[in-house]
Amino acid sequence: MSDAARLLVELGAVVLALGVMGRFAARIGLSPIPLYLLAGLAFGSGGLAPLDAPEEFIEAGADVGVVLLLLVLGLEYTADELVTNLRRQAPVGVLDLLLNGLPGAAFALLAGWGPTAALALAGVTAISSSGIVSKVLTDLGRLGNRETPAVLGVLVLEDLAMAAYLPILTALVAASGGATAVASIAVSLGVLVLVLVVALQHGHVVSRAIGTGSDEVLLLSVVGLALLVAGGAEAVHVSAAVGAFLLGIALSGELVARLRPLLGPLRDLFAAVFFVFAGLSIEPGDLPAVLLPALGLAAAGILTKIATGWVAGRRAGVGPAGRLRAGAVLVPRGEFSIIIAGLVGSAVAPEFGALVAAYVLVLAVLGPLAPRITDPLARRLAVRAAERAAQQRRAGT
């Protein structure tokens, strides 16, 4: 068999297997992310069926997957919404990042990995998976619940924080010294502020410029522009993911409604390749050594996210049951954690990638289950709250 034929057969088999895994995950009500990671482990070096396909080819597909993931995420928000949420929910957002980032930072420092690794692992443990959370809310029919706006507010602030965090982390990892790091961070944040200002003031101009023509022309124009912006952002150490996210924010109006159904299938395909590549980059033999730390971080992450949801729900005037539901639905970690691991690689610690993979595997599985597990307790809290309210009404009369 020729090399070209072997490449097509192997890639076809992988994509077909991912389709089967996605269907199975949907049937049992789980996110497909952990299954995609497991597929990468199985197809990688030391796995059950190592691929001969060129790693550069799959890595390029994974890079496109990151760009499309963040582009579509950016389309969910307008620049005005981000600014409004930042003003309204800033205290909860700061608490969320500090509370959930602390376990990761503390572990990295105790392990002797250094401050850059601490910053990277803090990001891994701090940020919920917007994709998994939104799917769980939809599947459970909770989009209309009173606590859902508080949950979405936390997610928006996390996404905005990532837009500032990723350039800083990229600059620190790439810099060779203190002065270089400071200069890289200054350039990165300057570009970030400039793009946000353009999105706020002139986003409608960008939308009009590319919003004409057929769906085919629109798709080609937006994907091409996203790759150009992502590449330019990467060149100045802002991170391709952030560039794509900011472009999504800049697009607005009817254009967004046209883009979502066009980009959805393309995003899902390349996002699956992205998670597979993340698994390919991990040696399965490295996982047992990091399993206990990953489980410990996952347990801490569950508790800190529940605390975050509780505070966010209380600030929004939601009762105890809704506060618990808000915290439980925020538990999953996913795409951002893997993106951070991809940016950092083994530059900060040899075990970093394996630890993040194990951590995401655990919480991407437990995350969709957490709301169902906590539902009985939420119902009891709702009953108690109703009883207390009734007692107060009787006492008042």
Task: Read off the pTM.
Answer: 0.77
CB neighbour burial string for 64-88, b if at least 16 within 10 angstroms, e if fewer? bbbbbbbbbbbbbbbbeebeebeee
Q: How far apart are the first and last CA of the chain?
A: 86
pLDDT at 203: 65
Residue 120: HSE in the Cβ half-sphere, 13 Å Cα cutoff: 28
**Residue 96 resides in a domain:** yes
- Which pLDDT value is given to residue 395? 73
Quote the tokens at residue 145.
Answer: 């619940």
Q: Is residue 292 part of a domain?
A: no
Residue 294 lies in a domain: no
Q: Specify whether the CB–CB gap between 175 and 181 falls below 8 A.
A: yes
Residue 295 lies in a domain: no
pLDDT for position 101: 94
How confident is the model at residue 157, as a pLDDT?
Answer: 80
Residue 288 lies in a domain: no
The per-residue pLDDT for 292 is 94
pLDDT at 188: 62
Q: What is the dihedral of CA 157, 158, 162, 163, to 10 degrees?
A: -20
d(CA 245, CA 91): 23
CATH of the domain at 67: 1.20.1530.20
In a domain, 117, yes or no: yes
Residue 290 covered by a domain:
no
Find the domain containing 310 and state its range: 3-283+301-344+351-396
Tokens coding 307: 């605390």
pLDDT score recorded for residue 100 = 95
Split into its structural domains, the chain has a count of: 1
pLDDT at 236: 66
Measured CA distances, 107 to 97, 115, 128, 226 (Å): 16, 11, 19, 36
The angle that helices 33-43 and 352-396 make with each other, rounded to 10 degrees, is 170
| Residue 296 maps to a domain | no
Tell me the average confidence (pLDDT) per consecutive run of 10 residues in the chain, 397 residues long: 73 82 80 79 69 68 78 71 66 90 95 91 90 76 80 80 78 64 66 69 70 80 85 71 76 76 82 77 81 94 94 88 92 85 79 89 85 88 82 72
